[in-house]
Amino acid sequence: MADARTAMAVSNGTKRLADAVRAAKIAAAQRTDIVVDIREADRARLEIFAEELQPIIDAVPAGDDLFDFSLSGGPQPRFWIDGTAQVMMARDRRTYRFVRETRLGRVTLAESTETHLIVDRVTDYVAERIVERDKALAVHDGLGHRAAPERAQTPLTAPIATDDPLRLPPRSRSADFVIALSWLMIGIVAGCGILLLITSMRGTPLF
């Protein structure tokens, strides 16, 4: 008798657990449906935004790797402008939010429920990026350094380089004779002076 009551109690408990599991599955399915519906709604709104942005996308060259106009899926759909900038839906599911990922975190560049306002801001952003790239390319194109060698080829005064040693002009024979005669006279005068000095020290007259 006791065993029958225990078996009934276990049966009733198992039934209640099965009902709870079934209810949990139903609730999870409903939440999943809600999430899927929200995701599809966000994607549909971003597709509307992409249609309005299409003229700007067509104006950018197809081979330009600076931009990446694409709509990604996932838990939160996003429309990518480039590697850091993107358009996504805010939590109210009606507001478009144009954000950019930076080293300091996510920065909101524009936010509005009107798609044309976000399109205008994205257009300005694309133009700014193109100008920044053109400036960066201009710094490294070498145009500012091409005139320097041409100026160096025609200096106003250019030194004449030579490996020959400095040579004095040759002297004439008359100049050599004058120099020799001068040294001879200097020698005679010096000799006479020395001779007079010696005789005066000895006290003997010279003549």
List strand residue ranges (DSSP E) for the chain, in order: 70-72, 78-80, 85-89, 96-102, 105-112
**pLDDT score recorded for residue 152:** 47
pLDDT digits (tens, 9 = 90+) for 164-195: 555 656 666 777 777 877 888 888 888 787 87
DSSP string, 139-178: HTS-GGGSHHHHHHHS-SS------SPP-PPPPPHHHHHH
Residue 86 in contact with residue 80, Cβ under 8 Å?
A: yes
For the four alpha carbons of 153, 159, 165 and 169, in that order, the dihedral sign comes to positive
pLDDT in tens, the chain (207 residues): 555 555 555 455 556 887 788 777 766 766 666 667 788 889 999 999 999 999 999 999 877 889 999 999 888 899 999 999 999 999 888 999 999 999 999 999 999 999 999 999 999 999 999 999 989 888 776 665 555 555 545 555 545 555 555 565 666 677 777 787 788 888 888 878 787 777 777 766 655
Q: Please answer whether residues 89 and 97 qualify as being in contact, where contact means their C-beta atoms are separated by less than 8 angstroms.
A: yes
C-alpha–C-alpha distance, residues 108 and 120, integer Å: 15
Angle, nearest 10°, between helix axes 115-139 and 2-59?
Answer: 60
pLDDT tens for 112-139 read 999 999 999 999 999 999 999 989 888 7
Tokens of 24: 């949990």
CB 206 within 8 A of CB 196: yes
Q: Which one, of 23, 68, 73, lies nearest residue 44 by Cα?
A: 73
The predicted model scores a pTM of 0.54
* Rounded Cα gap, residues 106 and 93, in angstroms: 19
Give the number of C-alpha atoms closer than 13 A to the C-alpha of residue 10, restricted to the C-beta side: 6
DSSP state of 60: S
| Residue pair 195/204 in contact by the 8 Å Cβ criterion | no
Q: How far apart are alpha carbons 134 and 146 in whole angstroms? A: 19
